[in-house]
Homo-oligomer: A and B are copies of this chain.
Amino acid sequence: MAQTAISSIKSNYDNLNNTEKRIADTIIANPTIAHDFTIQELAVASNVSSASVSRFVKHIGWDSYRDFSVALASHEDSNVFFGEIAETDSTKDIIQKVFSGATNALTTTLEMLDTTTFTAAVDLICNAKTVGLFGIGGSSLVAFNGYHKLLRTSINVQQHPDYDIQLMQAVRMTKQDVGIVISHSGRNHDTLTIAEKLKENNVKTIAITSFAQSPLAKLADISLVSIAEEVNFRAESMSSLIAQLTIMDSLFTAVGFQLGSKTQVVVDNIRNAIEKTRVSK
């Protein structure tokens, strides 16, 4: 993915030596400084020479200090208003925080999404005889949304909100099929039961979950991870729901493009059908 300044530091952090870590720490501790600071000021703040800073930015993948500091500036602004919602927050503050939480989830998820893994998932779906979508509770929204999207392709797709029916569908699937299993926590008992049934039948499984280390992620052939810092005052994370929906939509869009014109015909037919339900004025 397009590296951001901060992520370029974090992903290289282990390869940095002490001097470079000092610079990295200074920047991470206060990301806004580096766009205000010249290379010399940053060097002084980090207790190193400006030569080391110059070498540092090149080491982590930028062309020049100027490039780096501009990159740092371009990503800084968006999450200023991010964090726990407090008792004292005004309505406006609450709206702001909910929206930045969602934006943040999207940004972080995108950064962490591995294209190779994603492409493998797309291929799996394109070559499936039938695709089954499984999700319970809040995750059923994501499953339902995926169902809605996949209906517009030429792919056969199954989804039902009811757990018992999902379980039966899972049991009936074969190794030519693909199951997409969604769970925020990745450790919901019922969802795991479905994933295990799929596994038993050698159905290829794609997990969409918020935790890369969850039982579901470990069970699945491919797992796509949504990442969101949770915000106060909610049992399930809305932000990760947003991230998961967007993963699902990317998946559908990529599948649609891979299948090409075959899909476009279906989309057009459906669009016409929907258009008829709308009033003109």
Contact = CB atoms under 8 A, between A and B. Distances in A.
Q: What's the number of copies of this chain in the assembled complex?
A: 2
B246 A242 contact: yes
Given A106-B99, A141-B141, A277 B94 contact: no
Given A242-B102, A245-B241, A96 B73 contact: no
Interface string A176-192: 00000000010111101
A246 B70 contact: no
Given A81-B2, A279-B187, A102 B106 contact: yes
Contacts of A253: 85, 94, 98, 233-234
A5 B145 CA distance: 35
Contacts of A278: 185, 187-189
Interface residues of A, number: 75
A233 B144 contact: no
Interface of A: 1-2, 35-36, 38, 66, 69-71, 73-78, 81, 85, 87, 89, 91-92, 94-96, 98-99, 102-103, 106-107, 109-110, 113, 115, 118-119, 122, 137-138, 141, 144-145, 148-149, 152, 185, 187-190, 192, 215, 233-236, 238, 241-242, 245-246, 249-250, 253-254, 256-257, 267, 270-271, 274, 277-279, 281
Given A71-B73, A189-B277, A238-B246, 17 more contacts: A35-B73, A35-B74, A74-B77, A85-B253, A85-B257, A87-B257, A91-B119, A91-B254, A92-B115, A94-B253, A96-B110, A98-B249, A137-B274, A138-B148, A145-B238, A152-B234, A188-B277
26 contacts: A2-B96, A35-B70, A35-B73, A38-B66, A70-B73, A74-B74, A74-B76, A75-B77, A85-B257, A92-B115, A94-B250, A95-B110, A95-B113, A95-B250, A99-B106, A99-B109, A102-B246, A141-B145, A149-B238, A185-B278, A187-B278, A187-B281, A192-B279, A235-B270, A236-B274, A245-B245
